[in-house]
Structure formats: C-alpha cells, structure tokens
Amino acid sequence: MRPFEGIRVLDFTHVYAGPFATFQLAVMGAEVIKIEAPGKPDQIRLEGVDEALNEQGLGTSYVFNNQGKKAISLNLNSDEGRQIAVQLIESADVLVENYPGTMEKYRLGPEQARAINPLLIYCEMTGFGQNNPFAGRPAYDPVIQAASGMMSLNGTADQEFLRVGPPLIDYGMGAQTAFAIASALFQRNLSGKGQVIEANMLDAALVMMSPLVANAIHAGKTEQRTGNVQIDRPGYGVYPCHDDNLMIGAFTLEHHRKLFNVLALQEIIEIPEDFDRQWVRDNGPQLREKMLQCLAHKSAAEWEMVLNNADVPAARVRDLHEMLEQEQGQRALHSQFERVPDKPYTAPIAAFHFAEHGPHLDQHCAQHGEDNATVLAELGYDDNAIAALADKGVI
C-alpha cells in the first residue's frame, strides 16, 4: 500500500508547479482528478517537440507531470458545474489551485470550500503571495527568477543577467507544495481538522537560494557573479580538458588536498603542508592556472574517473540527451525511473526510492475530459444526465 492510497485530490492547476505538486501525490498513491474548463485545457497540453502529440493534448511537456491522474472538464460558470464541484469537494481530502482569485469568484475559495468540507486541505498556489504589493500579479518561472534576484546570480559580472534554463522555481515550488500538503494530511490525523495552505513561487525561489539570501542580508550586498568559477575555491568550478569540460566539486580543504595530490601540483607550485582556507583563497588564481595546465593533458572522462577514485567530486559536463541515451538506462535500474504507461519511453517520477510500496506509475496520461463519465457516475449521474450535461457545455 502506497502512502496516499485512499486520498482524493482535486487538481485545479495548470502549467508546471501545480501539476508537479499533485503528480508527486499521484505517484505515491493518491487519486488525483485534474479539472479543466471545457474548450480551455491546460495550455501545457499543447507544448512539446511533437506537433502530433500537441494536437492530441498530450504534448511531451505535459505528459510527464500528469501521468496517473483522472481528467474531467467542468464549466464552473454554470450552476450545474459548480454543483458538481461542490459534490467533488465533499468527497475530497485535498484541493489544489493556482488561479489566483478565480475560485473565490465561483464561491469555492478556501473559506467556502472548507465550509462544505471542514476536513479539506485547501492549497492556494500563487506567484507572489497574498497581502503584499505584488499580490495578484501574473507569473511564470522566468518572471519569478527576475523578481526574486535569481537572475542576478548567474553568469559573470560582465554578462547580461541570465535565467536558469530549466524551470527550477516551478519544480522547486511543486516539491515544497507537495511536502506542505503531505504535512497537512499528517497534521489532520493528529488534530482532526482541515487546513489552508498558501504557497507562492517567490518564497519558493528564496528558500532555494537560502545560503545566498543569508549572505546578502549579512553583507548588505549581492555576491559578485563569477560564472563557472568560485574565486576563493579554485577546486570548485568548470575546467576545459583535452576534449571536453569537467566540473570539479572540491569544496572542502580535504577535497582540495586530495585534488592537489592527484594533479601533483606540489611539484610545480609550493603548497604548504598545512594550508588553510585563507591560503587557498589568496592563491586561487595561481592554483587555477596550474590546474588548467594539468587538466589539459587528459580527457574529461579520464579525469572524472581518476578524481572520483580519489574521492574528489567531479563530473564531465554532459549533454542532456547524451546522458539519457547512453547512461540513464543503466542508472534507471537503481533509481525511481519508470516506463510511462502507453508510451515507449521511461520518465523520472520522483527523486527518491522506497524499498517497497513507493512511487509508481499505474495509469496513462488522460486526455482533456477523458474521465468525465467515470467520475460523474461515481457521484450518481446516469448516462442520460451525463449526456445532458455535455449538451449544455457543463462538461
């Protein structure tokens, strides 16, 4: 039995952050019902590299976050649609939404929904939070990267500000939201009460930057951008090798000591036997220059093996598709990576693995409104009533 079996989640979310949060609950056993407006599906259904799949509403950008969910279409502007939503809320454990202000318009906001079902965990996801000057503003991942200061940390000082390529804030917020919901469900078992959760992307971004936030507050300024090089730690950065680039993660003094030994730097530069952080900092540029010379004589793959064998963190900088094509297949045998139902490929479904009854995909990705009949039948609607709702545009 997976942890959330028997838990029903109503998913009124779109794009990435919300769907990823509910997807994490789904792979752990929750019944997740994704609710979209008739004729206006989640916009990410139409996004991906395969136009044929986009036309089916199953774009590759959508599928990975929405496996294992039922999908219904529901017009909340209609009385019948709102009544169906009320019935679903009565039966639900969790409601997640990321349309700021929209649920209140339908009298289904947190106070109204918890009046319907006092045990409900109601989770609101927004861009900037509530009760502040930015409240209600629309937001996407790169907008929050800009607003949070994340873009001011990437690249080098002489470059324009850079966004992080992957939608890290969306997924960081989704993971934090899933944890908040799991915590609220555990809390409900102790208190016998429902809960209202407010999660926002700006706070999620700041949490993800905690060490840099702390430094900026303490120093009264943002740290200088140094790109792939850390000035005070020459063993912590990207280096060109004979054929490719290598990321070395020698963060501690002990890592630096092992790195210097592997590269035999003591033969070309005087290194004190008991060097400290200040010495490494003061001699950073000279050490980096000598390291560049040493690393140029072997391939990145060779250095990766040598350094890891010496207990120095290092990895060749890989192309994403290359990594998936050449290495992930074997790695997947020992990670939470599963075949997508009804698809010829596998996908990462969680960042953790249980010895038993852990994350698992057991249902294909549903098309827009695919489960209307199934879900409504559970609420007591017969075939004629369901057909009538469809004729009216309620579903």
Which one-letter amino acid corresponds to residue 212?
L
Band of pLDDT at residue 131, cut at 50, 70 and 90: confident
- The residue among 340 and 285 whose pLDDT is bigger is 285
Neighbours of 375 (CB within 10 A): 24
CATH code for the domain defined by 229-317:
3.30.1540.10
Q: How far is residue 350's CA from residue 302's CA, in Å, rounded to a whole number? A: 31
Q: Are 248 and 260 in contact (CB under 8 A)?
A: no
Q: How far is residue 157's CA from residue 159's CA, in Å, rounded to a whole number? A: 6
Q: Which of 170, 232, 311, 371 is catalytic?
A: 170
Q: What is the pLDDT of residue 230?
A: 86
Tell me the sheet residues that pair with 73. Answer: 36
Q: Of the given ranges (182-191, 254-263, 348-357, 382-391), which has the lowest mean pLDDT?
A: 348-357
User: What stretch of H or E contains 197?
Assistant: strand 195-200
- Give residue-wise pLDDT tens across range 141-157: 999 999 999 999 999 99
Band of pLDDT at residue 337, cut at 50, 70 and 90: confident
Structure tokens at 49: 């590299």
Residue 102 pLDDT greater than 90, yes or no: yes
- Give residue-wise pLDDT tens across range 253-277: 999 999 999 999 999 999 998 999 9
Domain positions in the chain: 8-208+335-392, 229-317
- Give residue-wise pLDDT tens across range 193-226: 999 999 999 999 999 999 999 999 999 999 999 9
CA 75 to chain centre: 29
Beta strand 31-36 pairing with 8-12? parallel
Superfamily for 8-208+335-392?
Answer: Crotonobetainyl-coa:carnitine coa-transferase; domain 1 (3.40.50.10540)
- Give residue-wise pLDDT tens across range 301-317: 999 999 999 999 999 99
Q: What is the pLDDT of residue 91?
A: 97
Q: What is the pLDDT of residue 109?
A: 97
Q: Which value, to the nearest 10 degrees, does the dihedral of the CA atoms of residues 357, 358, 363, 364 take?
A: -150
Checking 297-305 for CB contacts under 8 A at 24+ apart, the result is 297/242, 298/241, 298/242, 299/241, 299/242, 299/243, 299/244, 300/241, 300/242, 300/243, 300/244, 300/245, 300/246, 301/244, 302/241, 303/241, 303/246, 304/246
Residue 14 pLDDT greater than 90, yes or no: yes
Q: How far is residue 190's CA from residue 195's CA, in Å, rounded to a whole number? A: 12
Query: Is 170 labeled as catalytic in the residue annotation?
Result: yes
Tell me the sheet residues that pair with 10. Answer: 33, 95
User: What stretch of H or E contains 300?
Assistant: helix 300-309
- The residue among 327 and 254 whose pLDDT is bigger is 254
Q: What is the pLDDT of residue 328?
A: 79
What lies within 8 Å, CB to CB, of 116 at 6+ separation is 86, 89, 90
Q: What is the pLDDT of residue 378?
A: 96
Q: Which of 292, 291, 295 is nearest to 303 (CA)?
A: 295
Residue 16 pLDDT greater than 90, yes or no: yes
Q: What is the mean pLDDT of residues 176-182?
A: 98
Q: What is the mean pLDDT of residues 354-379?
A: 94
pLDDT-above-70 percentage for the chain: 100
Q: What is the mean pLDDT of residues 314-335?
A: 86
- The residue among 89 and 323 whose pLDDT is bigger is 89
- Give residue-wise pLDDT tens across range 24-76: 999 999 999 999 999 999 999 999 999 999 999 999 999 999 999 999 999 99
Q: Rounded to two decimals, what is the model's pTM?
A: 0.94
Q: How far is residue 69's CA from residue 221's CA, in Å, rounded to a whole number? A: 45
What's the mean per-residue pLDDT of the chain?
Answer: 94
